Each structure stands twice: as C-alpha cells, then as structure tokens.
Structure 1
Amino acid sequence: MKLQSQLRGDALHIVVDEDRIDSAVAIRFKEAVREQAADGPGRVVLDLGRVDFLDSSGLGAVVSVMKLIGPGGKLELCNLTPNVDKVFRLTRMDRVFTIHDSLDSAFPERQGIA
C-alpha cells in the first residue's frame, strides 16, 4: 500500500497512491493509514484523488480508519474522483465525513503559496 504523508499546520495530509481500495487491499490500507496517523495530530485529511475504484470493503476500511482515529480526532476526505464520490453519496457516507472538493479547500491556509 503506497501512502505519502505530510504535516500541514494542525493536520496530517495522507495521499493514497493507489488506483483501487477494494477487498484485496482493504486490510493493508487500514493498517498503513493507522501507522501513518499514529501519534499524529487529531485531524487527518485523506486525499483520494488517485483512487478511481472503492468497493464496500474499501468503504469499510475508510470507516475503520475513522474509528481508529477516535472521538478526539477527525478524518476528512478530499479530491474524491467521480466514481469514489458516487460511492460516498449513494451510501450517504457523505453525511458522516467532511468531504473537500480540493486540497485547497481542505487546507485554505496554503492558498496563494507557491
């Protein structure tokens, strides 16, 4: 599972560098994100801009990550591709997660920085 993470102010920005989160990788995804977010800030922004396919196992893994972060933390999503966005809307998980259209809307303080 390829992830890239970077601290941005009060949040950890994690880019998922995979095209699919499905049953074949869901457990590895959950563990990799948990390792990246361990001992980090309470706010985690998961960037799914490179993920074009998410099945129910992948959705379950994202929900599990939210639970692993705990009640004091917050998992937000950004850059959802149309296919992934559709999964979140059809399952009404868009009401559970804060979903940002872009990296700039997730981190407005970085706008205008070259």
Structure 2
Amino acid sequence: MTQPNPVSCSVEERRTDEISVLAVSGTVDMLTAPKLEEAIRAAAKSSPAGIVVDLGAVEFLASAGMGVLVAAKQDLGEAVRFAVVADGPATSRPLKLVGIDEVVDLYPTLDEALTALTT
C-alpha cells in the first residue's frame, strides 16, 4: 500500500510599497493552515500598512484556512488593513457561502486589492 502524497501549501511574501502580499498556493486545510497563520503573523511583525492574502493559486480551501483568515482579520484589528484575493470555485465560492466575505474584504484580483488598501 502506497502512502498518499503529502498535502502541500506554499506561502511567499513580497512587499509592494507599504503592503505585504502573501501569495498562497496549493491546499489550505487543517494540516497546512498553520503555515498560512505563521506567514500572516510574520508579515504583521514588519508593520505593514496592509496585508493581502492572495489565494489565486489555491486549489482547495478548507474551513481551517477560512478560520485563519477570520482570526487574522480580528488579530490585526484596525492597525493593519487586511484583504483577501479570491476568485473562482475553489476559494471565492466557499468564502461567500459561509459568509466570510461579510467579515473579510474579498477582491477578485491582486490589483483591485492593492488599490483598495492604498487609497
């Protein structure tokens, strides 16, 4: 019996002016959500004006990943603006179905999220 491939998730951070952009790819579930949570915490330590979590390359977003996004929004408070890029059935649809779009600002593109956070 072969072991299944481990679930993979990668998070890469880059800075656009005063905004920290976290590009997430792969699967965000209960095994990989802590990686996203730590990346958001690390980004916040650099005192950005805002943090954008770009889920454009995410293939599967589980409730654990959604929970990380809501917790990050609450933890950052008013000090750091927070937005999520989500478009399509793997990310945007589940976020909207459970009402996270009412708590966290969602944008279909990174450009739209950056514009919203810098104006």
TM category (shorter chain) comes to: 0.7 to 0.9
Q: Deviations over 1:36-70 (max 9, x none)?
A: 33123131111000112111111111112223323
Matched residue pairs, number? Answer: 108
Matched with 2:4 is none
Tell me, in whole angstroms, the C-alpha distance in 2 between the residues paired with 1:12 and 1:40: 9
Partner secondary structure for residue 51 of structure 2: strand
Sequence identity (%): 25
Residue of structure 2 aligned with 1:46, choices 53, 58, 68: 53
Q: Which ranges of structure 2 fall in alignment gaps of 5 or more residues?
A: 1-8
Alignment of 1:1-114 (within 5 A): 2-16=10-24, 18-108=25-115
- If the length of structure 2 is used for normalisation, what is the TM-score? 0.78
* Structure 1 unaligned blocks of 5 or more: 109-114
Instruction: Call closer, same or farther: CA 1:107–1:29 in 2, change over 3 Å.
Output: closer
How large is the Cα RMSD of the aligned pairs?
A: 1.9
Q: After the TM superposition, list the runs of 4 or more consecutive aligned residues in structure 1 that deviate by more than 3 angstroms.
A: none
TM-score (norm 1): 0.81
Do 1:20 and 1:51's aligned partners in 2 also have CA atoms closer than 8 Å? yes
CA distance, structure 1, for counterparts of residue 35 and residue 11 of structure 2? 11
Q: Post-superposition shift, 1:13?
A: 1.2
More strand by share: 2
